[in-house]
């Protein structure tokens, strides 16, 4: 079996960490009786600077032919973030209906949380973020630019279809984990879309009587992820709230450099996309010190979804073993002095 992967290194350290990870993916593929062929597309901010677009015409048609997409990061200090996001990430997510953004937060053994009193394994939750509508819907506009009465309208969109499917996916995940789901909204202030969301959660919950449901407003959830992160199991949230909460989850688990993600479609015609959460980090790009572990863990999620759980476990277990080893190389974000190459070389030896 050969899997055809679209490699989008993107910008900054995204290039470094994905290029370091792909040989490890090829290694575990060889060890487990399948192969991976990666096609690299040099799209992103440099393409925008040269051509005025993040991707060329027909890019999405080319990506659609692949089994999965492995993305590094998108972002450039000279280009507004809304340009890079709307020029590449959002079109991919929406065109391929990648409605599930799955972001696990795990405190690995050997990693120190900035929160006192937590050890390896104490923090282990996953956020299911709605990924194609909500607050990131491209509905709105600006009028009277440059005048005192300039205005902007930004609308959020919550459909029953879009909300129910992410909620149901989160409940399914909870049944396979510890049986607890936390629903995060702001329905006290947003009395239409968020109340619809809460109503749908309440309705779907009747189909999953074994799952305990907790309801939190997003401000309380932000506090509680710091105050009691060990009590969370599966969190379901809107596009914006899920985006914010997962950055909190990453940092209380030790580092943004350990935070993987999957943008998952349930439409067999399209590929899902896998990426580290950390962004392009232009401040350290080119220095060779970027932590590749989030990219490696994202690749493990990709292999799992492609139907290769043993290979996925091999990658995940190598990361866990390295982090638990006090003598293993570590990048500066984890308190070490090693670089990307040393970390991936150690992982290769462990594989």
pLDDT 10s digits, 11-37: 999 999 999 999 999 999 999 999 999
Give me the pLDDT at residue 316, please. Answer: 98
Average pLDDT, the chain: 97
**DSSP assignment of 36-97:** EEEEE---SHHHHHHHSSSS-TTHHHHHHTSSEEEEEE--BTTB-HHHHIIIIIHHHHHHTT
Tokens of 334: 């984890």
pLDDT above 70 covers what percent of the chain? 100
Q: Which spans in the chain are helix H?
A: 13-31, 45-51, 59-64, 81-84, 90-95, 160-176, 193-205, 218-227, 239-252, 293-305, 309-324, 340-350
Whether the Cβ atoms of residue 85 and residue 74 lie closer than 8 Å to each other: yes
Q: What pLDDT sits at residue 106?
A: 98
Work out the burial of residue 162: count CB atoms within 10 Å of its CB; fewer than 13 is exposed, 13-18 middle, 19 or more buried.
Answer: buried
Give tens-digit pLDDT for 152-167.
999 999 999 999 999 9
Phi, psi of 165 (to 5 degrees): -70, -35
Residue 19: predicted pLDDT: 97
For the full predicted model, state whether its pTM sits above 0.75. Answer: yes
**Is the sign of the CA dihedral 161, 205, 274, 123 positive or negative?**
positive
Please tell me the predicted confidence (pLDDT) of residue 194: 96
What is the per-residue pLDDT for 90? Answer: 92
pLDDT digits (tens, 9 = 90+) for 199-256: 999 999 999 999 999 999 999 999 999 999 999 999 999 999 999 999 999 999 999 9
Question: What are the structural domains of the chain?
Answer: 1-103+256-351 (3.40.718.10), 124-252 (3.40.718.10)
Q: In this predicted structure, what is the pLDDT of residue 46?
A: 93
The pLDDT score that the predictor gives to residue 67 is: 98
Amino acid 350: pLDDT = 97
**Which residues of the chain carry a pLDDT beneath 70?**
none
């Amino acid at each position: 079996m050969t899997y055809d992967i679209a490699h989008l290194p993107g910008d900054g350290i995204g290039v470094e960490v994905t290029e370091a990870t792909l040989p490890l993916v090829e290694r575990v593929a060889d060890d487990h009786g399948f192969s991976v062929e990666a096609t690299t597309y040099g799209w992103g901010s440099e393409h925008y600077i040269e051509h005025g677009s993040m991707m060329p015409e027909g890019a999405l048609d080319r990506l659609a032919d692949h089994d999965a997409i492995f993305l590094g990061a998108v972002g450039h200090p000279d280009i507004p973030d809304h340009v890079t996001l709307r020029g590449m990430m959002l079109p991919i997510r929406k065109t391929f209906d990648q409605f599930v953004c799955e972001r696990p937060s795990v405190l690995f053994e050997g990693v120190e949380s900035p929160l006192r009193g937590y050890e390896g394994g104490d923090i282990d939750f996953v956020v299911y973020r709605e990924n194609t509508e909500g607050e990131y819907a491209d509905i709105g506009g600006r009028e009277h630019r440059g005048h005192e009465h300039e205005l902007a309208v930004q609308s959020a969109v919550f459909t029953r279809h879009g909300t129910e499917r992410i909620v149901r996916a989160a409940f399914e995940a909870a049944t396979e984990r510890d049986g607890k789901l936390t629903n995060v909204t702001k329905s006290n202030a947003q009395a239409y879309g968020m109340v619809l969301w809460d109503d749908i959660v309440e309705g779907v919950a009747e189909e999953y009587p074994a799952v305990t449901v907790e309801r939190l407003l997003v401000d309380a959830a932000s506090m509680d992820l710091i105050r009691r992160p060990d009590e969370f199991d599966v969190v379901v949230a809107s596009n914006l709230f899920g985006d914010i909460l997962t950055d909190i989850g990453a940092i209380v688990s030790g580092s943004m450099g350990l935070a993987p993600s999957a943008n998952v479609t349930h439409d067999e015609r399209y590929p899902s996309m896998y990426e580290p959460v950390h962004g392009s980090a232009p401040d350290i790009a080119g220095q060779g010190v970027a932590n590749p572990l989030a990219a490696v863990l994202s690749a493990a999620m990709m292999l799992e979804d492609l139907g290769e759980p043993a290979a996925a476990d091999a990658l995940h277990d190598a990361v866990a073993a390295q982090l638990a080893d006090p003598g293993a190389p570590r990048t500066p974000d984890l308190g070490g002095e090693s670089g990307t190459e040393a970390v991936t070389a150690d992982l290769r030896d462990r594989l």
